[in-house]
Structure 1
Amino acid sequence: MGSVGGWVRELAPRGQTALSRSVLPAAQVDRVVDRVGAGPVRWAVELAQGMAEHMVARIPQLGVDGLVQELRKGCEAVAVSMVAALAENAEVAPEPPAEALTGAVEAVGRGVGVEHLLQSVQLGHAYAVREILAEAERHLPAAERFAAVGHVSEVLFGIVNQLSAEMTSEFSRAHAAWVTSSAAVRRELVQEVLAGEPVAADHAHRVLGYDLTRCHTALVVWADDLEHADPGQLAGVAEQLLRDGGATGTLVLPVGRQRVWAWGSSVRGASVGPPTSTGTPGSGVRVAAGLPEHGVAGFASSHRQALDAVRVGTLSRGDRWLFDYAELDLIAMLSADLDQARRFVRRELGGLAGPGEPATTLRTTLKRYLDVERSLNTAAELLHVARNTVAYRVQRAEQLRGRDVEVRRMQLQVALALAEEFGDLVLDEHATPP
């Protein structure tokens, strides 16, 4: 407590898995952990998740594909930067992190106005002030709170002032470039189609250079972070994957710097196959695919499925690059409400929902065992362990769950699938859904 910001180093999150839900590059987060400790950084990650939820709840326009993910990154970057400045008792507010400004570019291509962005900054500021002052009251005696409040207010006000100014400037530059581009015209027409508005097929063909009457497979290709953000590269990945799947016609649209939407169709009327996971589009690049669907309605439907697969991909704890709706449809539907999904998983798994590697191993074994229709031999081959090891793990899993595997077996398999895909997001009762 020796300095004005010393109490900040005592901050701790409600849940112990906060860092695993960070959306910033691990190396970037680790550097701040080395400076101020893990507790304050975990607390900042939780704060950022709450800030993003608060903003989207009050400004629904921010909840669109791609933009909401950038909003989370921006909130987390600012929260972590703020905590570091407070803990180190910085004299001057830090410069707004680059991640906090990418939302401005993403907003332009989605028709979100700068007024919404500036309102989000004010909402985030109010939310952060409320939370950090509550922590000051919890950690500090009354005599020390005045100095803490002054320090907090000075740092946050400085961050908000700079962020608002730079975000407005970034938005203006991106908007000026966007309105003069052909992509703006094409994107506007695509938005009309996706919204279900009547669009003449011949007019759409002229503007888009793409036939909406065929059978379409939609893709979304995105970059995990700014380091891998190259719209040209992402567009090339989408084009190549669609051509490899048999597409003779393609439509690829950039939506900001870190994402492209794409569709492919074949002149022969055959469905364009989804990407295969045998290759890789490059480090830090992810791909989501919808199902093949026919006509104008199918153009929109396949895209919605791809967006659902994107949502799974951004939350997934796996390390794969391809998220195919054909394989993830059930997971996507059941995870639309993560609060309900978490309650379901914990209810079905019981003690098997516990933390740590032993519980993870038991869940993995039980899922493989059920996936192969309870064949001990096949499960053992898949897991590269002895048959008796599988039998022991299944028995132990049943003990922890408190029920035989045949009791509500369908629900058990779904709960195991959700746990495998989302990890602590559905296993930790204190997890905050992003």
Structure 2
Amino acid sequence: MEAQRALVRQVGDRVRESQEALVEGLVQDIRAQIGALDQEAAARSLLEASITENVVAAINFLRQGIDPDQLEAPTAALAYARVLAQRDVPQSALIRAYRIGHQRFLDHTFALLDDLPAADRVPVCVELVRLSGQFIDLICEQVGRTYERERDRWVASRSGVRQRWVTDLLGGGPVDRAAAARALRYPLEAVHLACTLWPATRMTSFDLVAAVDDVRAHAVSALRARAALVVPTDEYEARLWLALPGPSNAPAPPSGSASSSASASASASASASAPGYLGAPEGSLLHAAFGRPGAGLGGFRTSARQAARIKEILGTRLGSGAAAAPLWVHYDQAAPVALMAGDLPAVRDFVMCTLGALAAAGAREAVLRDTLRIFLDRHRGHAATARAMSLHRNSVQYRVHRATALLPRGERDLADDFNVRAALLAVHWLGDAVLATGS
């Protein structure tokens, strides 16, 4: 028996050496096979943390012969279960992920046994199946209890009730709008501006609630909103809807603002001139992603969907190492990127083919890209670009000349600059994720 335990420990050591590849493959498999778990960047990060800690715990269970009665689910696994409960993801999706993980763990482990003598291989495989099955059952039991407790708590809370109504409204199926409006205390017939909010710095869930309420008060005051609806998505994120005032008493967006076009509405008759621009208040601790204003239930849904797309873009940008200062971004500022950001490899290919050497990930190229982007956005006006960037006109001319020289066909690429502008906008919002890294 001791010889068998020594072999199991040896196998555990081998799995630990290939742990990174195992985790990467597991993340890809689970996202591909369980659509409910293939969510936005923040949730994917929690999924990866949960898988990583579970794999480490499983390896230690094999190597150290831990008493099953002392086995505790990893912290990240329990946190991920709570988040899924808050987001109304079925528990069956979570348990299925563990079953997929168990099978892939065994497949990965068995592939490492080829050099063992045949007499040792069978009993070791049997022991690995027994131990891994014991591990997965105990972990599933613990994360399942955590999920159920959090689900009961969340549904019983007022936030949970609001989230269930909002989930029904966003689901696209039939819903009792009058009952929903009464339960939410929010006018669904209004012109809606949706926003997704999440921390720009580390904070407790209590601090997040306070920060979101500060944004709500700021937004209601700045836009003279008729009503506001705040619905936590989970302990790391919240959604905000604002019922905007009618066109007759709506404030205009700031003059000359690059985001003033966000006042476009989904309803030509009811909300064509409704304001959608909102700037961050001083001292804000939250990132904010806004959709366009839209009327009625359709606008409620569409604006929220657009805000989610902008959050996804900002998650990519922040994840690529961009500054983490609070960003408040409206859909119209990045709409073309929102439409194509679902396929980052394709966007990267487009950027590299369109910008050529200007797509390098260096500081010099970044300055030249920003200058060329602002220059083209201001109708190729050197003076207007100089004012926007607080530069001398000669500096702008020099930078534009250098940037143009790095394009694949030089000045000829600017004869019809649509592709160049789209590529520059993609880099501006998605950052290093779509740049040539030199690898």
Q: Which residue, out of 8, 12, 35, partners 1:60?
A: 35
Deviation at 1:189, TM superposition (A): 2.6
Question: Does the alignment pair 1:421 with 2:429?
Answer: yes
Q: Deviations for 1:62-88, whole angstroms, at most 9, x for unmatched residues?
A: 2345xx63242341364378579979x
Farther off after superposition, 331-340 or 311-320: 311-320
Deviation at 1:381, TM superposition (A): 4.8
How many angstroms apart in 2 are the aligned matches of 1:126 and 1:109?
A: 27
Question: Does the alignment pair 1:172 with 2:145?
Answer: no
8 A contact 1:106–1:257 mirrored in 2: yes
How many angstroms apart in 2 are the aligned matches of 1:84 and 1:387?
A: 60
How many angstroms apart in 2 are the aligned matches of 1:157 and 1:323?
A: 47
Residue aligning to 1:17: none
Question: Does the alignment pair 1:355 with 2:361?
Answer: yes
Q: What is the RMSD computed on CA atoms of the aligned residues? A: 4.1
How many angstroms apart in 1 are the aligned matches of 2:316 and 2:152?
A: 33
Deviation at 1:399, TM superposition (A): 3.4
8 A contact 1:48–1:76 mirrored in 2: no
Deviation at 1:415, TM superposition (A): 0.5
Q: Which residue, out of 162, 182, 190, partners 1:206?
A: 182
How many angstroms apart in 1 are the aligned matches of 2:108 and 2:432?
A: 24
* Identical aligned residues as a percent: 25
How many angstroms apart in 1 are the aligned matches of 2:409 and 2:309?
A: 33
How many angstroms apart in 1 are the aligned matches of 2:385 and 2:290?
A: 29
How many angstroms apart in 2 are the aligned matches of 1:51 and 1:375?
A: 51
Q: Letter of the aligned partner of 1:246 in structure 2?
A: R
Q: 1:119 to 1:239 in 2, by over 3 A?
A: same
Deviation at 1:171, TM superposition (A): 0.3
Q: Letter of the aligned partner of 2:46 in structure 1?
A: K
Question: Does the alignment pair 1:400 with 2:400?
Answer: no
Secondary structure of the structure 2 residue equivalent to 1:365: helix
Instruction: Note the residue ranges of structure 1 that are not aligned, 5 or more in a row.
Output: 12-39
How many angstroms apart in 1 are the aligned matches of 2:167 and 2:155?
A: 15
After TM superposition, the score normalised by the length of structure 2 is: 0.72
Secondary structure of the structure 1 residue equivalent to 2:179: helix
Residue aligning to 1:368: 374
Q: 1:351 to 1:77 in 2, by over 3 A?
A: farther
Residue aligning to 2:305: 304
Q: 1:181 to 1:429 in 2, by over 3 A?
A: same
Q: Letter of the aligned partner of 2:199 in structure 1?
A: A
Instruction: Note the residue ranges of structure 2 that are not aligned, 5 or more in a row.
Output: 1-9, 251-273
8 A contact 2:27–2:51 mirrored in 1: no
Secondary structure of the structure 2 residue equivalent to 1:281: coil
Secondary structure of the structure 2 residue equivalent to 1:316: helix
Deviation at 1:186, TM superposition (A): 3.1
Q: Deviations for 1:102-124, whole angstroms, at most 9, x for unmatched residues?
A: 22222223322222112223334
- Count of aligned pairs between the two proteins: 386
Q: Which residue, out of 101, 104, 107, partners 2:84?
A: 107
8 A contact 1:221–1:237 mirrored in 2: no
Q: Which residue, out of 275, 279, 293, partners 1:276?
A: 279
Q: 1:281 to 1:131 in 2, by over 3 A?
A: farther
After TM superposition, the score normalised by the length of structure 1 is: 0.73
Farther off after superposition, 112-121 or 157-166: 157-166
Q: Which residue, out of 106, 112, 117, partners 2:94?
A: 117
Q: 1:262 to 1:384 in 2, by over 3 A?
A: closer
Residue aligning to 1:23: none
Secondary structure of the structure 2 residue equivalent to 1:198: coil
Q: 1:8 to 1:262 in 2, by over 3 A?
A: same
How many angstroms apart in 1 are the aligned matches of 2:87 and 2:54?
A: 28
Q: Deviations for 1:374-430, whole angstroms, at most 9, x for unmatched residues?
A: 334443454455544444443333333221241441111110111122122112479
How many angstroms apart in 1 are the aligned matches of 2:131 and 2:348?
A: 36
Q: Letter of the aligned partner of 2:42 in structure 1?
A: Q
8 A contact 2:216–2:228 mirrored in 1: yes
Q: 1:414 to 1:8 in 2, by over 3 A?
A: farther
Q: Letter of the aligned partner of 1:243 in structure 2?
A: V
Question: Does the alignment pair 1:247 with 2:253?
Answer: no
Residue aligning to 1:28: none
Residue aligning to 1:329: 335
Q: Deviations for 1:326-356, whole angstroms, at most 9, x for unmatched residues?
A: 3221221121222221221111112222233
Q: Deviations for 1:126-148, whole angstroms, at most 9, x for unmatched residues?
A: 557767998x89xxx968xx99x
8 A contact 2:356–2:407 mirrored in 1: yes
Question: Does the alignment pair 1:189 with 2:197?
Answer: no
Q: 1:118 to 1:430 in 2, by over 3 A?
A: farther
Residue aligning to 2:254: none
8 A contact 1:49–1:76 mirrored in 2: no
Question: Does the alignment pair 1:293 with 2:294?
Answer: yes
How many angstroms apart in 2 are the aligned matches of 1:381 and 1:213?
A: 43
How many angstroms apart in 1 are the aligned matches of 2:131 and 2:344?
A: 34
Q: 1:296 to 1:424 in 2, by over 3 A?
A: same
How many angstroms apart in 1 are the aligned matches of 2:195 and 2:201?
A: 19
Residue aligning to 1:75: 48
Residue aligning to 2:194: 218
Secondary structure of the structure 2 residue equivalent to 1:288: strand
How many angstroms apart in 2 are the aligned matches of 1:95 and 1:164?
A: 11
Q: Deviations for 1:161-213, whole angstroms, at most 9, x for unmatched residues?
A: 66434321220210121333344443333222222333344322222111111
